[in-house]
Amino acid sequence: MTNTFSYHVSESGFYGEFGGAFIPEMLYANVEEIRTKYLDIISEPAFQEEFNHLLRDYVGRPSPLYRAETLSRKYGANIYLKREDLNHTGAHKINNTIGQILLAKRLGKKRIIAETGAGQHGVATATVCALMGLECIVYMGAVDIVRQAPNVARMQMLGASVVPAESGSKTLKDATNEAIRDWINNAETTHYIIGSAIGPHPYPDMVTRFQAIVSEEIQWQLKEKTGKDHPDYVIACVGGGSNAAGAFYHFLHDDRVRLILAEAAGKGIDSGHSAATSILGTKGIIHGCMTLLMQTSDGQIVEPYSLSAGLDYPGIGPMHAHLIKSGRASVYAATDDEAMMAVIELSRSEGIIPALETAHALAILDKMTFKKDENVVISLSGRGDKDLNTYIKYLEDHQIPL
Ligand X SMILES: *Cc1c(COP(=O)(O)O)cnc(C)c1O
- The count of other CB atoms within 10 Å of the CB of residue 400 is 12
Please report how close the Cβ of residue 291 comes to ligand X at its closest, in angstroms. 13
**Closest distance of CB 306 from ligand X, Å:** 10
CB of 93 or CB of 230, closer to ligand X: 93
Helix (H) or strand (E) holding 81: strand 78-83
Indicate if 115 belongs to the active site: yes
* Beta strands 161-165 and 135-141, pairing class: parallel
Residue 310 touching ligand X (CB under 6 A): yes
Residue whose CB is less far from ligand X, 104 or 118:
118
Cβ atoms of 265 and 332 closer than 8 Å: no
- 110 catalytic per annotation: no
Span near ligand X by CB under 6 A; candidates 73-81, 160-168, 235-243, 247-255: 235-243
Of 367, 366, 362, give the one whose Cα is nearest residue 377.
Answer: 362
Please identify, using beta-carbon distances, which residue of 145 and 311 lies nearer to ligand X.
Answer: 311
User: How many angstroms separate the CA atoms of 158 and 152, rounded?
Assistant: 10
Q: Which residues pair with residue 136 across a beta bridge?
A: 112
Annotated active-site residue in 263, 278, 381, 386 = 381
| Position 278 contacts ligand X (CB under 6 A) | no
Cβ proximity to ligand X: between 182 and 312 the closer is 312
Q: Name the residue type at position 59.
A: V
Active site residue 69: no
How far from the centroid of its chain's Cα atoms is residue 132's Cα?
A: 23
- In the complex with ligand X, the residue whose CB is nearer, 84 or 345, is 84
> Is residue 292 near ligand X by the rule CB under 6 A?
no
Q: Cβ 140 to ligand X, closest distance in Å?
A: 12
Please tell me the distance from the alpha carbon of residue 304 to that of residue 55, in angstroms, as a whole number: 33
Among 82, 93, 109, 154, binds ligand X (CB under 6 A): 93
Cα radius of gyration (the chain)? 19
Residues in contact with ligand X, shown as a per-residue x/- string from 334 to 373 under the rule CB under 6 A: ---------------------x-xx---------------
In the list 59, 158, 218, 238, the residue contacting ligand X (rule: CB under 6 A) is 238
> Which residues, 6 or more positions from 103, have their beta carbon under 8 angstroms from its beta carbon?
34, 38, 41, 42, 191, 206
CB atoms within 10 A of CB 312: 27
If one asks whether residue 243 binds ligand X (CB under 6 A), the answer comes out as: yes
CA distance 227 to 131: 39
Report whether 236 contacts 379 (CB < 8 A): yes
Q: Sheet holding 14-15: strands in order across?
A: 14-15, 18-19, 289-293, 282-286
Asked if 120 interacts with ligand X (CB under 6 A), we say: yes
Nearest-CB residue to ligand X?
382
Q: How many residues does the chain have?
A: 402
289 part of the interface to ligand X, by CB under 6 A: no
**Interacting stretch for ligand X, rule CB under 6 A, among 28-36, 58-66, 118-126, 253-261?**
118-126
Work out whether 241 is an interface residue with ligand X (CB under 6 A): yes
Counting contacts by CB under 6 A, is residue 196 touching ligand X? yes
Size of the residue set binding ligand X (CB under 6 A):
21
Catalytic one among 63, 82, 115, 178?
Answer: 115
Which letter, b or e, does each residue of 275-298 get, where b requires 16 or more Cβ atoms within 10 Å of its Cβ? bbbbbbbeebbbbbbbbbbbbeee
Minimum Å gap between C-beta 357 and ligand X is 3
By C-beta, is 93 or 328 nearer to ligand X? 93
Closest by CA position to 9, among listed 245, 176, 191: 245
* Nearest residue to 140 (alpha-carbon basis) of 178, 90, 109: 178
Residues that bind ligand X (CB under 6 A): 91, 93, 118, 120-121, 196, 237-244, 310-311, 355, 357-358, 381-382
| Catalytic sites, residue numbers | 93, 115, 381
